[in-house]
Each structure stands twice: as C-alpha cells, then as structure tokens.
Structure 1
Amino acid sequence: MDANILRGEAPLRIGTTDIVIAVEFGRLAKLSRALACDSMDELYRRLLGFEPYTVACAIRILTIHADRDEADRLALAAIQQLSSADQEAWRVAIEAALTAHLEKGRSVRDSVPLVEDVEMMLRQAEKAMDERGGGNAKAKKP
C-alpha cells in the first residue's frame, strides 16, 4: 500500500515488515487515551522520543491498510520485530506523518471561516428553537 503524505500517512519499515502509518485526530485521541497522556505535547514527546511502549501502541493504532485484517496482521508483525534499530526509521515516518497531519489541519482551518461558520450555526439553532417555541422562557408581564 502506498502512503499518501498529504493525508498524514507515511511508509515505515520495522524489521522486515513494511507498513503505512496514518496520523488522524481520532487515532491520536485513541492512542492518547490508551497511554493515559495528559496532553498532546506529552503524546508527541513520547512518539518522537521513541518510548518503546508508546511506539508499540502507536504501531497498533496507526497502521492502516485497505484490508483491516491485513492492517492488524502487519501491525502485530511489526511490533514483534520492533527494536532500537528501528528508532531512526520510526522518527522519520512519525515526523512526516505528524507534519502532514498538522499542515492538513491548517489548510482546512484556513479554508473555512470558523467564526462565520459558528455564527451561522448559532443563528440556525436559535431560529429552529424559536419556531418550536423553545428556548428561554419569556417573562410574563404582570
């Protein structure tokens, strides 16, 4: 499977196993919870620092393949072969995937006027509540 760097994917060879890792916010959230990280800074530090348990968990969670069963098989094979000899390859791949993920987030954020979008959604919600007669109760005049 080829990696799409623009989508936060990166190729990685662990031992003799070739995998593709994908950094997406949902996957990072799952990894953060599994590792009981207090912040994204802590998660990034542990990923980039090649902390062994973090890297093993990351391989399991971040490995992708068109066939989910194949992704699981490849991730487990990579984890079984993981050693300190893979540190440089890991750093190159995770840095590429994280950088692409962050850049993608910036480009999406820059393309959507967030304040305008929030304001529009709030106006729509208020209108819907008014039409249903909901919302804050209006004080009755004595």
Structure 2
Amino acid sequence: MLPANPLRGEAEVRIGAIDFRIAVTFSGLARLSDAIGARTLDELYGRLLGFEPKAVACAVRCLIVADDEDHISALSAKILDDGNISAADQLAWREAVEKALSAHIAAGTVRRDERTASQIAGDAVL
C-alpha cells in the first residue's frame, strides 16, 4: 500500500486488522452526505467523529482509496465485517478523519492563495 498523500486529503487508518487509506474530496463528501442524509458539513463531521455506525459504514465506501471499484467493494466488505470492526476503532477512525479533512481544507486554502511567490516568501520571513 502506498503511503497517504496529505496534499490530496488522504490519511491512513487501521480498522480492526486492516490498514487502508481514506481521502476527503468534495465529491466523496457529497456522496457521503447523500448516503446518510446529512445536510451540512458540520453535521457530516459530527456524525463521522461520533463514530455513528451508518455514517462510518457509508464513509468507508465513499472515502476509501483503492485501485478500482471491485477492490473498493471487496476491501470495504472486509473492513466492515462484524469480525473486524468494533467500537474500539473509534479513536483511530476519528484521528484519520480529522487528518484527512484538515488536509483537504489546507489544500483548498493553498489553491485560493493569490499572493505572489515574493509576497509569500516575505510573509514567511516576517
């Protein structure tokens, strides 16, 4: 497995015995919001951090990073198997979601920075 790329809003997570990556993207958030009926990003975030079972199950499917649709389906099924996932995974999940969402927001902020390279360098020195 390749390491997570925070520039793409990715984070590594271990649920049960399975290591995988999630990526927070706007399209992934939109799919997840639709799947669980969340109306705002705040609601979505709260439900993910609260480890709401349906939200987590849908998020694994909507945010997982894998090679193709077949791999996503197979890996999601293994992760969400009752013999693998439990409430004990809440902290690892929360940390990964926070990291991935923070990276997504930071990347979006950087893309909107309209300062010149000289201004950025000057601000960094000050």
TM-score, reference length from structure 2? 0.83
Instruction: Tell me by how many angstroms 1:111 deviates.
Output: 4.0
> What's 1:131 paired with?
none
> What's 1:67 paired with?
68
Gap runs ≥5 in structure 1:
113-142
Instruction: Tell me by how many angstroms 1:50 deviates.
Output: 1.1
Q: What aligned pairs does 1:8-87 form with structure 2 within 5 A after superposition?
A: 8-80=9-81, 81-87=84-90
> What's 1:98 paired with?
101
- Identity between Structure 1 and Structure 2 (%): 51
Q: Decide which structure has the larger Cα Rg and report it.
A: 1
> What's 2:124 paired with?
none
Deviations 1:15-66 (A, max 9, x none): 1111110100000001001111121110011111111110111011111112
> What's 1:89 paired with?
92
**Distance in 2 between the 1:82 and 1:7 partners?**
26
**Distance in 2 between the 1:84 and 1:93 partners?**
15
TM-align CA RMSD: 1.4
The letter for the 1-side match of 2:54 is Y
Gap runs ≥5 in structure 2:
116-126
Instruction: Tell me by how many angstroms 1:76 deviates.
Output: 1.4
1:50 counterpart SS class:
coil
1:103 counterpart SS class:
helix
Deviations 1:100-133 (A, max 9, x none): 0010111112249xxxxxxxxxxxxxxxxxxxxx
**Distance in 1 between the 2:17 and 2:64 partners?**
15
> What's 1:7 paired with?
8
Aligned residues: 112
The letter for the 1-side match of 2:17 is T
TM-score, reference length from structure 1? 0.74
